[in-house]
């Protein structure tokens, strides 16, 4: 089940305990809160990963608010680490942002190019 919650962004739930956010434009967390109302924090706790397809503001400027709201949802419980799949260029922005806004959040950064197998991306190997 996928729920669209912003012009750029959607929440794909794998189960009642696990979901992934696909792109995270500005205001995505607020849209999610409007969609789920009083159950929003339960939904935020299911977010295991965020996938950012590319570095345009409308695909990543909602990350800080989404991550902070997710952390609030875990108040009183152990905060699960978050996996962030994103272009390598987002890493420096994320490190800077973490210093000032996301100090207590554990984020595992996975660059998108790590998701592509060498056998697929290698120019020496072609499929005919």
Q: How far apart are CA 19 and CA 48, in angstroms?
A: 6
Residue 65, exposed/middle/buried by CB under 10 A (0-12, 13-18, 19+)? middle
Residue 72 confidence class, pLDDT cut points 50, 70, 90:
very high
Q: Residue 114: which CATH number?
A: 3.60.15.10
Domain-embedded: residue 74: yes
Domain-embedded: residue 126: no
Residue 88 confidence class, pLDDT cut points 50, 70, 90:
very high
* pLDDT at position 79: 86
Domain-embedded: residue 89: yes
pLDDT in tens, 20-69: 999 998 889 998 999 999 999 999 999 999 999 888 777 888 999 999 99
Domain-embedded: residue 47: yes
Domain-embedded: residue 49: yes
Residue 126 has pLDDT above 50, yes or no: no
How would DSSP label each residue in 38-72? GGHHHHHHHEEEEE--SS-HHHHTTHHHHHHHHHH
Residue 125 confidence class, pLDDT cut points 50, 70, 90:
very low
Residue 1 has pLDDT above 80, yes or no: no
Of residues 119 and 84, more confidently modeled: 84
Domain-embedded: residue 116: yes
Residue 118 has pLDDT above 70, yes or no: no
Of residues 49 and 8, more confidently modeled: 49
CB 84 within 8 A of CB 52: yes
CB 84 within 8 A of CB 122: no
Which residues constitute the domain of residue 55?
A: 2-121
The average pLDDT across 62-81 equals: 90
Count of domains forming the chain: 1
Domain-embedded: residue 43: yes
CB 40 within 8 A of CB 66: no
């Amino acid at each position: 089940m996928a729920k669209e919650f912003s012009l750029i962004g959607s929440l794909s739930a794998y189960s009642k305990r696990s979901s992934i956010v696909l792109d995270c434009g500005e205001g995505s967390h607020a849209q999610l809160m409007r969609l789920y109302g009083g159950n929003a924090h339960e939904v935020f706790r299911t977010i295991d990963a965020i996938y950012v397809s590319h570095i345009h503001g409308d695909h990543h400027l909602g990350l800080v608010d989404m991550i902070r709201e997710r952390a609030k949802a875990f108040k009183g419980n152990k905060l699960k680490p978050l996996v962030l799949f994103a272009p390598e260029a987002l890493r420096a922005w994320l490190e800077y942002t973490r210093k000032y806004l996301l100090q207590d959040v554990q984020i595992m950064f996975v660059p998108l190019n790590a998701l592509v197998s060498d056998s697929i991306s290698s120019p020496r190997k072609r499929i005919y």
